[in-house]
Structure 1
Amino acid sequence: MAEPSKWLQSFDAGYFDEKGQWAGGSEIMHLASHKGKLYAANGYWLDARWVIPPDGQKQSAQVLRLDQANGKWQVDLDLGKVNDLGLEYMKGNILKSVTFTRDGQGRLLKSPAQLLVLAAGANFERGGAVSCWVRNDDSGKWNHTLVRHGSNSGGVRWVPRDLQIYRDKVTGVERIFLLLGNPGIISGVYDRGEVSRIRWDRHVEFPFLTKGTFFTRPLGIAQANHALHFSEGPSIFRRIDGERPKYEEILNLAEDTDTDVGGIRGLTAIKNPNGNGQSLLFVWAPGERSQSQMKRLDPDGKGGYTLHNEANLAQLMSLKLGVKVPYTLRGHNMMYPVTHPVTGKLVHVIGFYGSISGKSDLMWQGSRFYGGALFAVRSADGKYSVHEVNGPYAQDKTLLVSPRAFCLSPFSKNEIFIGGHDSSNKVSDNLAWIFRAPLTVALGIEKGLSAPALPEQSPRMARVDEGPVYELRIYDAAEDRLGHLIKRFKLHTDKLFKKHHMEPVGYWLPIHGTAKEKRRFIYILKHQSRYAAYKNWNAFTHDPEWKRGVLEQPEFQRLLSQRPTSIFMTLNDYSKKVPTLSNKVGGIYELRTYTTAENKLAALNARFANHTAKIFTKHGMSNVGYWTPYDHPESKNTLIYLIKHESREKADINWRAFSQDSDWKQVARDSQRQGKLLKRNPERLYLKPLDFSPSQ
Structure 2
Amino acid sequence: YHSYKAGQKGLAGTEVMHLVAYKGSLFAGLGFWMSIAPGEAQVARLDCPFCDWVSEWHISPYALRVESLKPVRWTTNRDGQPISGGPVDKFLSAFHLRDQGRGQVRFSSRNDVDKNWEEGGIAWTGSLWSLGYFSARAMLLHKDTVTKVDYLFLTTGKDGIVAGTYTASSKHTVSFDRSLTETESGPMAARPLSLIEHDGHVYSSSASYVIRRKDGPHPKWEKVFDMATAEPDVTVDEAVGGVRGLTSIVHPASPTGRSLLFSWSPNSGSGGCMTRLDPNGNSFTHHIEKCAKDLAKDYLGKDRRGKDPLVVYSIADYNGALEVPMEGGGQKHIIGFQMLLYRYSVFHFATDPYQEMTSSSGKRLAYYSGSGFMIRHSATEYEVREPGGKRWDPKEMYPRLVAVRTYSTSPFLNDKALYFGGFDCNHFSSYNSAWVMRGEATAVYSKPVPCQKELGCGHVPGTRFRPTGCDLCEGQVFDGNEVYFFNKKRVRCQNAINWLNTQKAGKCSAIKKLVATATRSCCKGICNLCAGTGKPFRPKAPAAKDSAGNVLYKCRVALGFVKSGGIDCFRATAWWGGACCW
One-letter amino acid matched to 2:116: K
Residue 106 of structure 2 is aligned to residue 131 of structure 1: yes
**Residue number in structure 2 paired with 1:438:** 440
Corresponding position of 2:34: 46
Aligned twin of 2:89: 114
Q: TM-score, normalised by structure 2?
A: 0.71
Unaligned runs of 5+ in 2: 229-233, 302-308, 357-365, 453-477, 481-522, 530-541, 558-582
- Deviation, 1:231, is 0.3
- Measure how far apart 1:441 and its partner are: 1.1
What's the secondary structure of 2:295's corresponding residue?
helix
CA–CA distance in structure 2, aligned partners of residues 156 and 236 of structure 1: 20
1:230-270 alpha-carbon deviations (Å, 9 max, x no partner): 00001111111121211111111224211111110000011
Q: Structure 1 vs Structure 2: percent identity of aligned residues? A: 28
Matched, 1:14 2:7: yes
Q: Name the amino acid aligned to 2:23.
A: K
Give the aligned partner of residue 140 of structure 2. Answer: 164
Query: Does the aligned pair in 1 maintain the 2:60–2:118 contact within 8 Å?
Result: no
Q: Would you say 1:73 and 2:60 are equivalent positions?
A: no
Pick one of 220, 232, 241 that aligns with 2:215: 241
Over aligned residues, Cα RMSD in angstroms? 2.6
Match of 2:456 in 1: none
Q: SS in structure 1 opposite 2:37?
A: helix
Q: What per-residue deviation string (whole Å, max 9, x for no partner) do you get for residues 569-612 of structure 1? A: xxxxxxxxxxxxxxxxxxxxxxxxxxxxxxxxxxxxxxxxxxxx
User: Within the alignment, does 1:298 sit opposite 2:278 as a pair?
Assistant: yes
In structure 2, how many angstroms separate the alpha carbons of the residues matched to 1:256 and 1:421? 26
1:428 CA displacement: 1.8
Contact 1:284 1:293 in 2 (8 A): yes
Does the CA contact (< 8 Å) of 1:143 and 1:195 recur in 2? no
- SS at 1:138 equivalent: coil
Q: CA deviation at 1:163?
A: 0.9
Paired amino acid for 2:16: I
- Alpha-carbon deviations, 1:536-557, whole Å to 9, x = none? xxxxxxxxxxxxxxxxxxxxxx
Listed as ranges, the matches of 1:393-412 within 5 Å are 393=391, 394=393, 395-396=395-396, 397-411=398-412, 412=414
Pairwise mapping of residues 479-518 of structure 1 onto structure 2 (< 5 A)?
none
SS of the residue 1:49 aligns to? coil
The residue aligned with 2:194 is 220
Tell me if the contact between 1:277 and 1:299 (Cα under 8 Å) persists in the aligned partners. no
For 1:28-73, what per-residue CA distance to the aligned partner results, in whole angstroms no more than 9, with x for missing partners? 11011110111101111121222xxxxxxxx211100112221111
Aligned residue in 1 for 2:242: 263
Report SS of the residue matched to 1:48. Answer: coil
In the TM superposition, what are the counterparts of 1:166-315 in structure 2 within 5 Å? 166-202=142-178, 213-254=187-228, 255-272=234-251, 273-300=253-280, 302-315=281-294
Deviations 1:455-477 (A, max 9, x none): 899x9xxxx9654533xxxxxxx
2:247 and 2:321 in contact (8 A); partners too:
yes
Of 267-276 and 426-435, deviating more is 267-276
Q: Which residue is 2:25 aligned to?
A: 37
| Distance in 2 (alpha carbons) for counterparts of 1:466 and 1:381 | 51
2:426 counterpart of 1:424 = yes
Of 295, 317, 320, 2:296 maps to 317
**Deviations 1:83-103, CA, capped at 9 Å, x for gaps:** xxxxx2211111122222222
The offset of 1:447, in angstroms, is 4.2
Shift of the alpha carbon at 1:153? 4.5
Question: Is the CA contact (8 Å cut-off) linking 1:163 and 1:178 kept in structure 2?
Answer: yes
Give the conservation status (yes or no) of the 8 Å contact 1:28–1:434: yes
Partners of 2:224 and 2:282 within 8 A in 1: no
State the secondary structure of the residue aligned to 2:369: coil
**What's the TM-score once normalised by structure 1's chain length?**
0.60
SS of aligned partner of 2:213 = strand
Q: What does residue range 49-68 of structure 1 map to in structure 2 within 5 Å?
A: 49-50=37-38, 59-68=39-48
Counterpart CA distance in 2 for 1:451 and 1:269 is 38
Q: Say if 1:184 and 1:205, in contact at 8 Å, map to a contact too.
A: no
Distance in 2, matches of 1:103 and 1:454, equals: 57
SS at structure 2 position matched to 1:97: strand
Mapped partners of 2:200, 2:180: distance in 1 = 22
Report if the CA contact (8 A) 1:390-1:451 is conserved: no
Q: What residue number does 1:369 align with?
A: 367
Question: 2:214 is aligned with what amino acid?
Answer: I
Contact 1:156–1:183 under 8 Å retained in 2: no
> What residue number does 1:476 align with?
none
Greater Rg by CA: 1
State how far apart, in whole Å, the 1-side matches of 2:88 and 2:380 are: 35
Partner of 1:570: none
Q: Secondary structure at the match of 2:276?
A: strand
Shift of 1:389: 0.5
Question: Where in structure 1 are there 5+ consecutive unaligned residues?
Answer: 1-7, 18-22, 51-58, 82-87, 471-525, 536-696
Aligned residues: 442
